[in-house]
Amino acid sequence: MANEAPVCILTAQAAKALSSVQKAMTAKGLTLVVFDCYRPARAVADMGRWTREGGRPDPQWYPTAERGDLIAKGYIGEFSSHSRGSTVDLAIAEPGNKSAVHPACGAPDGDTLDFGSGFDCFDPKSETASALIDAEATANRKTLLIAMRAAGFRNYAREWWHFTLAKEPFPKQRFDFPVNAN
């Protein structure tokens, strides 16, 4: 049995489009930081089961919502677009910058620019057009949004980091193959 691997798997079309975004970022002295790409349907189902188990808000990940409400509020999908291979969660960073802001809510973002909330922070301040963040974070979100739109991606308005290729090749398909290191 092969080990699962932390790799980004995307459809050829999404990978090509994302490559064009990276080239545009490089020209500006920036780089993309990718958090999540393809996610097997079985992992999505596991997240759904976990959500339905319920629980209190968690200050690290979902500070203002009960766990059992995460699907209804649109933070976790019963059928994630990640299982189609043309969705990516990402941010922008300055290469070599070790003084990045790490917001309290969400996964550690490595060395990303300040986006006002962390990746996977299930909270209203993570909405792309949130008025709950400062001007710098708003500008960084706008930079990411413009670059991704120019490459043919559309943003999920509840999550500043979540983008799906507008003309994805498998819009109705869900894949469930494991991600292996081999």
**DSSP 8-state secondary structure symbol assigned to residue 87:** E
**How far is Cα 155 from Cα 160, in angstroms, rounded to an integer?**
7
Task: Please tell me which residue in 94, 127, 159, 168 is annotated as part of the active site.
Answer: 159
Domain spanning 12-165: CATH 3.30.1380.10: yes
Active site residue 136: no
Query: Running DSSP on this structure, what letter comes out for residue 2?
Result: P
Residue 170's pLDDT is 97
Mean pLDDT of 155-179: 96
Q: pLDDT tens-digit profile of 33-44?
A: 999 999 999 999
- Predicted local confidence at residue 97, as pLDDT: 73
Residue 109 has a pLDDT of 62
Average pLDDT of every residue of the chain: 90
User: 119 pairs with which residues across the strands?
Assistant: 107
Looking at per-residue confidence, does 26 or 100 come out higher? 26
Is pTM beyond 0.85? Reply is yes
Q: Where are the domains of the chain?
A: 12-165
Q: Which one is predicted more confidently, 136 or 103?
A: 136
Contact 180, 3 (CB under 8 A): yes
**Contact 76/96 with Cβ under 8 angstroms?**
no
Cβ distance 67 to 58 under 8 Å? yes
What would the two tokens of residue 165 be?
């290729």
